[in-house]
Amino acid sequence: MINAQIADNFDSWRTAAREFLESGERPEDIFWNTVEQASLFEPKIGNLEAREHLRVPAEFIKVAKAIACFDGAGKWPLLYRILFRLSYEDRNLLSIETDADVRQARVMEKAVSRDVHKFHAFVRFRVVKADETEIYVAWHEPQHLTVERATPFFVRRFGTMNFSILTPKGCSHWDTKELTFSPPAEKQHAPTADDAELHWLTYYRSIFNPFRLKIKAMKTEFPVRHWPTLPEAQLIPELIREAYEK
Amino acid sequence: MEIRRKLEILADAAKYDASCASSGSHRKRDERGIGNTEGMGICHSYTPDGRCISLLKLLLTNVCIWDCSYCVSRRTSDVKRARFKPEEIVKLTMDFYKRNYIEGLFLSSGIIQSADYTMEQLILVAKKLREVEHFGGYIHLKAVPGASKELLLLAGKYADRLSANIEMPVQQDLDKLAPEKTLGEIEKTMADVKFGIDDDKDNSKSTGKKALFARAGQSTQIVVGASESSDTTILTKAQQLYKDFKLRRVYYSAFSPASFTDPVIRDRPKTSPMREHRLYEADWLIRHYGFRSHEVTEGLADGNLDLEKDPKLAWALRNRHMFPVDINRASKSMLLRIPGIGVRSVARIITTRQFRKIRLDDLKRLKVSLVRAKWFVITADHNPDVFRLDRENLSDVFAKPKTQPSLFDVLTPVMPASAVTGEL
């Protein structure tokens, strides 16, 4: 049994996985352990990717990078199992959507992609003034490790604004020139009020149609776990109560 | 009047337009400003009516010289009136956008003075957003029926989407309920917008410049149940609009009488939300599953879709001679016609079957609804239910159990999000 100690990120896993794959280690013989600092594996400079049996379909790299952001058990052994099977069993494995490993990978990939999408949707900036500069600061609680994956979207969109996105899984900062990342923050670091919010709440209340309540439909797309970080969601109980009164 | 009060009145009046789509447009951020579109729409919030908030949806004013019976803002309706100044809408849009509340603006209006004057006022807001604020987010403008072609062509320069609402599927309905509107005029407006889109695409081909005219195309809306028109009439009209004007979407809005409704139709019953839902499903079949509207509506007793069964299942039960379908051999277009199998599952089936025979269990893993699909398919293994395809009472198998509806769930199926929000 091999005890693989890696950091919880794609590069660290890849470095280790290459080594195991080259020496033909079987997936069931490896125990994957994530630690703060990977100690066992130093990245080897060498043309490993060029060796035929280490070449994998581009699709695998895409899927693996997404799954690396999954915050939960089982992702590293799953990825190595798929990698091993791609190399020694069937290069078309990823096309067999009914395969149990592929299915599990797709489910994780989808969870990450959904989390990134919700990240883009549910970040709410509040403005703070530092000297003469406006900084847009958000507190968001992603389900997966998606800060680095989700932030470039905000850079493309809000490139002329200074912003920081604070989360319990890491933070990102943009100063109109450079994107940087920092360790997790806590909710009390984020601002608690913003001038435009009152208008936003007025809008939310007015655009709601109390004559067609569909609470289940709302919750499917608007998971309750995100409500605490969304100012407008605080109105929901009140709006539902008023709708019943009508 | 203070902004907050205007916002209350003019958002309230805007909510009867169902569209909130923000997809289908690609626009890079102007380096001087903020905002872009990347093709995929984003729903930033949801209200307890199950609808998404993607855009700041407002009327410029709810003052209107027209008198459409079903409309809250019609001339003879007893509601508070208000009117935004263009710069007030611009500021709200920018304030909301910078805080990541919205993808952009959907601006409509009551008819002030004339169609052209109203269209000019809407364009003015969009122009300020694009040229003064360098705003690159999504803009949906109402195409006012009867506005001049020049103005519509200008509107499409600034807007990602334009929509002229047809409201009723036939002229007789309009004559009764919206006397100032004619199908001819509304369709002329759609034709002008289509001209703008096609012309811009042609130019883009010859100049190599990116086409930007109404990149997300045009859409429309039909009010369902304010008139006697059946689902068959409505879907026939929708199919014609898709074909003639290349509309991206037709939205369906269930009529619901309210205190503001014209006495002429106030006594009509509230349209069942399930009827609206079935129309969206049928519309989906026409746009993404290769169905023609007459296939979906043939043999319906009163011309209306079955409220108990989804339209694909209902079609399959009427056309059992076309089944069973062999999952491992059938064409894509036939796979799409199997009840309980969606577009994504079909894609996965086609990829997988190149390498592996597909069995019943595999379908379950691919998230196919076997409750519906199992009667209609042949798989690599034994599927006992397919031998019962011809039984007389198969239809009863799908009947909903009669249970006491709960307060929360009565007639509120979990719709595909896309049908609620207008996302693809």
Facing residue for A202 by CB, picked from B8, B14, B362: B8
A-interface mutation test, from B98, B357, B381, most A Cβ less than 10 A away:
B98
A95 contacts B352? CB cut-off 8 A: yes
Mind listing the pLDDT tens digit for each residue in B45-55?
Answer: 999 999 999 99
Cβ <8 Å between B50 and A157: no
Q: What is the mean pLDDT of each run of 10 residues along chain A (246 residues)?
A: 92 94 93 76 48 79 97 95 95 95 97 98 96 95 98 98 98 98 96 95 96 91 95 97 90
Q: Nearest CA to A231 among A119, A116, A138?
A: A138
- Interface contact A210, partner B, CB < 8 A: yes
Residues 6+ apart with CB under 8 A from A142: A115, A118, A119, A150, A167, A169
Closest approach of chain A CAs to the CA of B360, in angstroms? 11
Residue with tokens 């599990």: A104
Residues 6+ apart with CB under 8 A from A238: none
Interface of A with B in 71-90 (CB under 8 A): 90
Which residue of B47, B70, B421 is the best one to mutate when testing the A interface, meaning the one whose CB has the most A CBs within 10 A?
B47
How many residues does the structure list for chain B?
Answer: 424
Instruction: Quote the pTM value.
Output: 0.92
> Which residue of chain A is at minimal alpha-carbon distance from B256?
A211
CA-to-CA dists, residue A207 to A3, A63, B8, B235, angstroms:
56, 39, 8, 28
Compare CB distances from A96 to B43, B258, B352 and report the shortest one's residue: B352
Question: Chain A 135-174, CB below 8 Å of chain B: which residues?
Answer: 136, 138, 153-154, 156-161
Q: Does A125 touch chain B (CB under 8 A)?
A: yes
Judge: B362–A136 Cβ closer than 8 Å, yes or no.
no
Query: Can you give the pLDDT at residue B406?
Result: 46
Instruction: Give the closest of A158, A220, A243 to B34, CB-based.
Output: A158
Cα distances (angstroms) measured from residue B147 to each of B12, B151, B190, B310 = 25, 7, 11, 39
DSSP-derived secondary structure letter, B14: T
- CA-nearest residue of chain B to A94? B352
Question: Containing H/E element for A155?
Answer: helix A147-157
Indicate if the pLDDT at residue B194 is higher than 70. yes
User: Is A203 part of the contact surface with chain B (CB cutoff 8 Å)?
Assistant: yes
Q: Which residue of A has its CA nearest to B421?
A: A221
Q: Quote the pLDDT of residue A40.
A: 53
ipTM at complex level? 0.93
End-to-end CA distance of chain B: 39
Query: In B, which residues are within 8 Å of A217 by CB distance?
Result: 50, 412, 414-415, 420
pLDDT at B422 exceeding the cut of 70: no
pLDDT of A51: 56
pLDDT at B407 over 90: no
Chain B contact for A196 (CB, 8 A cutoff): yes
Which residue, among B14, B42, B18, has the nearest Cα to B276 in the 3D structure?
B18
Closest approach of B5 to chain A, Cα-based (Å): 9
Is A126 within 8 Å of B51 when comparing Cβ atoms? Answer: no
Looking at the partner chain, which of A117, A159, A194 has a beta carbon nearest the beta carbon of B29? A159
3-state secondary structure (DSSP) of residue B295: helix
Q: How many CB atoms lie within 10 A of CB B154?
A: 18
Q: pLDDT value at position A183?
A: 96
Q: Under a CB-based contact definition with an 8 Å cutoff, are residues A63 and A109 in contact?
A: yes
Cis ω before B324 (30° cut-off from 0)? yes
